[in-house]
Structure formats: C-alpha cells, structure tokens
C-alpha cells in the first residue's frame, strides 16, 4: 500500500548542507516532492540562528510508525542528539516531522504558522498526486 504523507523539515546548523543530505536519505524512503525552502526565526527556543524550512510530500510504502523511525534515524545520522530530553529546544542539524496523510483535507491545518508560506508551492503537487 502506498501512503501519501505531508511532512516538514527544518535545520539551523549548516542548513543548506544538511538539507541536501536529508534529501538524499529521504529519496531512499519513497518519492519526495518539495516546497520552496525559506528561512524563519526560531520558534519556542532561544537561538540566534535562523532555520531553513520546507514542506514536502512523500509517497512511501512505509506506515506512519516505520516512517517516523526512519526520520529519527536520518536526524541522528546528520548529528542530532535525539536522546537529549531538551533536543527540541536546541539548535539542530535536521528536524523532520510527519504532519499527516494527504487523504484528509485537515492535514493542511496541521502546518505550523511559520510554514504556511510553503503551502502554495506544494499543495498543487499534493492534489495532483491524489488524482493519479
């Protein structure tokens, strides 16, 4: 079975390098389609480093739990210390999240405010994929 996921990615440590590396890893999990990437200020953390962020749609045979495990592995491979209980509040080389599946129109409401500007560049692609 093929799943259609809406996901996000962000990095504020070597963001351009880590985005490229993450895309390489993600290509092994299924077909990925990316929004435009843009810089934002950190949210819910104290840092002076901007984040590079993007949304992406991933078509994959992996179920939600398996995909999340793979995303965590990618984050670790890029240097994120996921064992640190405060890792969500620290600068990071990569953060990849599953926002939901495209089978629900509600998934677009899961996009955080700071990523809303990416929706117009990815939503048409998502809608095309669902029509196949």
The whole-model pTM stands at 0.94
Inform me whether the pLDDT recorded for 132 exceeds 80: no
Q: Please give the C-alpha separations between residue 75 and each of 1, 53, 79, in angstroms, as whole numbers.
A: 26, 14, 6
What is residue 104's three-state secondary structure?
coil
Superfamily of structural domain 3-131: 7,8-Dihydro-6-hydroxymethylpterin-pyrophosphokinase HPPK (3.30.70.560)
**Mean pLDDT calculated for residue range 50-79:** 97
pLDDT in tens, 90-112: 999 999 999 999 988 899 999 99
d(CA 125, CA 120): 9
């Amino acid at each position: 079975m093929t799943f259609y996921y809406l996901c996000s990615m962000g990095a504020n440590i070597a963001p351009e390098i880590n985005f490229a590396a993450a895309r390489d890893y993600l290509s092994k999990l299924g077909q990925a389609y990316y929004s435009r990437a843009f810089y934002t200020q950190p949210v819910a953390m104290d840092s002076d480093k901007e984040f590079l962020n993007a949304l992406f749609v991933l078509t994959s045979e992996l179920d939600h739990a398996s995909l999340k495990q793979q995303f965590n592995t990618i984050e670790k491979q890029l240097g994120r210390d996921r064992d640190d209980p405060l890792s969500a509040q620290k600068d990071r080389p990569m953060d990849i999240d599953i926002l939901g599946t495209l089978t629900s129109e509600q998934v677009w409401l899961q996009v955080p405010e700071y990523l809303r500007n990416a929706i117009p560049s990815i939503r048409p692609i998502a809608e095309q994929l669902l029509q196949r």
